[in-house]
């Protein structure tokens, strides 16, 4: 019983490390793409609270949102936020990694304004029939 508890704690730290590594990797790739002129907007990811109604069986117990902020110097339209979200959601490998690492919510926000867009990640994984 006691060793099983420790295994669960160690798994939690490994997952936490993997989650942090994915955020850092995303941010580094986004910075490099922006600097090279490949991406028109600088994106920055961070972990957020998430939407509790989006929970799934693999959701982390805390902070289940993957929030991306787009730095544009102006308020983004809803269509622009949706476009950024669709680019992320079309990357099937990234979406699967997010779900496996315990995220259930994708959030896209601009650097101005108070509202953004959010998606339930499990709805964007094609599952076999």
Torsion of CA 86, 88, 94, 95, to 10 degrees: -40
Worst-scoring range by mean pLDDT, 10-14, 36-40, 56-60, 75-79? 10-14
CA 98 to chain CA mean position, Å: 6
Q: pLDDT tens, 50-75?
A: 999 999 988 888 899 999 999 988 88
- pLDDT band at residue 1 using 50, 70 and 90 as cut-offs: very low
Per-residue pLDDT, averaged over 75-87, amounts to 93
pLDDT at 84 over 50: yes
Q: In the chain, how long is the greatest CA-to-CA distance?
A: 55
CA 85 to chain CA mean position, Å: 10
């Amino acid at each position: 019983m006691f060793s099983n508890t420790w295994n669960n704690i160690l798994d939690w730290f490994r997952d936490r490390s993997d989650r942090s590594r994915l955020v850092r990797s995303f941010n580094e790739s986004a910075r490099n793409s922006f600097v090279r002129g490949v991406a028109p907007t600088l994106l920055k990811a961070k972990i957020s609270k998430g939407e509790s109604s989006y929970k799934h069986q693999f959701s982390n117990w805390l902070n289940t949102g993957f929030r991306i902020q787009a730095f544009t110097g102006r308020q983004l339209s809803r269509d622009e936020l949706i476009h950024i979200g669709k680019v992320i959601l079309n990357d099937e490998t990234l979406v699967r990694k997010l779900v496996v690492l315990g995220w259930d919510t994708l959030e896209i926000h601009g650097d101005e304004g108070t509202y953004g867009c959010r998606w339930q990640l499990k709805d964007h994984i094609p599952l076999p029939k």
